[in-house]
Structure 1
Amino acid sequence: MPLPQSFYNYTALEAAPRLLGQHLIRRTEEGDIVCRIVETESYGGIEDKGSHAYGGRRTTRTEIMFNAGGAAYIYLIYGIHYCLNVVTAEQDNPHAVLIRAVQPLSPADAEYMAVNRNIKIKRASDLSGGPGKLCRALRIDKSLNGTRLDAPGGSLWLEQGDDPATLDIVQAPRINIPYAEEYAIQPWRFYIKDNPYLSVKEKNEQVFTWT
């Protein structure tokens, strides 16, 4: 079942914990790869100094963030790593959730991903524990930028998975954004506690509670 359309109306901060446990599906020539989202980061609105759209910045790269929720925002960092984000909120209100780590749902999915990574996998996090790793494992690149994640059956989409309310979720500051000043310490990274596919486990993680 696809996520309800209303899901994409959430702000990034509301959507980030709710994306945990949901399924990300990548359709390839060899078959579908299905993953469970286990780590996310919220980048919300023009006031967030960690966001590409801070201050209402509209560029060729960030324009997709100003679309209505449901699109994929994919960009390149350090000239080598692609990052996948889920655009949320209403038109002209730039919110996005970075997908930081995913867990393959089956051994077959893990095998597909390992072949795509083309490296020796020593531990689960080597496979898809980090935004660049998961994009390589799922063959996600800039050609998928703007893909509607709310439209099942395309190249990339989201479906309902676990109920996030049943998961053991923790939160911590986002990774590698010192330029965000006071926003760098906000606990806007969310993950399933002790999941082996996490990119980084925070020593001072906080228990997340629903409000």
Structure 2
Amino acid sequence: MSAKAIPIDFHAASERVARALIGAIVTVDGVGGRIVETEAYDREDPASHSYSGPTPRNAAMFGPPAHAYVYRSYGIHWCLNFVCREAGHGAGVLIRAIEPLTGIDAMRQRRGLEPLKLLCSGPGRVAQALDVTHKNNRMSLLEAPFHIKPPEQAFDIVCGPRIGITKAMDVPWRFGLAGSKFFSKPFSKA
């Protein structure tokens, strides 16, 4: 008997979606793994790309929900976000790290012969390993090449402040699968 998947409501607030995605399986063209680290961003959040309203760069973040928002960080790395809340709001969840499960040879070819632990530990590494680029921006997460399998059980989740930002650094909207070895950076001990 298989466990019942816990559905992900992409219309929910970004922090709820970020938490719900922990333990979900994401693949792009069959390459992917378990989501172990996320960060939530919302329109009222000064650290969010949507804070100052829509622009050509961040337009995908304004919906509809359950679509990809892909942007380049520091002009170097692509980053994958899952859009949430209602269309026009401007909220998303950054996929910070996954535990590689399928297509590991393809990931290594794209990333180099990294140790398994480092293949997808960080948003730029996730995008590179999954071959996510601007071509995936605005794509539905509910159709190929994406496949998201919700968690089949509840996982223990750790949370803490987001990292790599300069505003709203104390907001505890970074979520992780407790005990994972695949985080981009360790969570602080409380």
**TM-score scaled to structure 2, two decimals?**
0.91
Matches within 5 A, 1:97-176: 97-106=93-102, 109-118=103-112, 120-122=113-115, 124=117, 126-151=118-143, 154-163=144-153, 166-176=154-164
Helix, strand or coil at the partner of 2:10: helix
**One-letter amino acid of the structure 1 residue matched with residue 74 of structure 2:** Y
What is the aligned residue count?
187
- State the alpha-carbon separation in 2 of the partners of residues 162 and 36 from structure 1: 11
- 2-structure distance, mates of 1:148, 1:3: 20
Indicate conservation of the 8 Å contact 2:35/2:98, yes or no: yes
RMSD of equivalent CA atoms: 1.9
Which structure 1 residue ranges, 5 or more long, are not aligned? 206-211
Whether the 8 Å contact between 1:172 and 1:204 is mirrored in structure 2 is no
Aligned equivalent of 2:180, options 195, 203, 206 = 195
Alignment of 1:1-211 (within 5 A): 4=7, 7-27=9-29, 32-45=30-43, 47-55=44-52, 57-106=53-102, 109-118=103-112, 120-122=113-115, 124=117, 126-151=118-143, 154-163=144-153, 166-178=154-166, 180=167, 183-205=168-190
1:202 maps to amino acid: F
| Letter aligned with residue 42 of structure 2 | G
User: More displaced, 60-69 or 81-90?
Assistant: 60-69
Question: Deviations for 1:126-180, whole angstroms, at most 9, x for unmatched residues?
Answer: 11000001111111111110110022xx1223222333xx2121001101111x1
Q: Alpha-carbon deviation of 1:204?
A: 2.9
The superposition leaves residues 56-76 of structure 1 with CA deviations (integer Å, 9 ceiling, x where unpaired) of x11011111111211100000
Structure 2 unaligned segments of length 5 or more: list them: none
TM-score (norm: length of structure 1): 0.83
CA distance in 1, matches of 2:48, 2:182: 25
Over 6 Å off, 4+ runs: none
Percent of aligned pairs with the same residue? 33
Letter in 1 for 2:17: A
Asked if the contact 2:160/2:174 (under 8 Å) is kept, the reply is yes
Q: Matched residues in 1 for 2:122 and 2:32: separation? A: 17
More helix, by proportion: 1
Q: Secondary structure at the match of 1:201?
A: coil
- The change in CA–CA distance for 1:2 and 1:78 in structure 2 (over 3 A counts) is farther
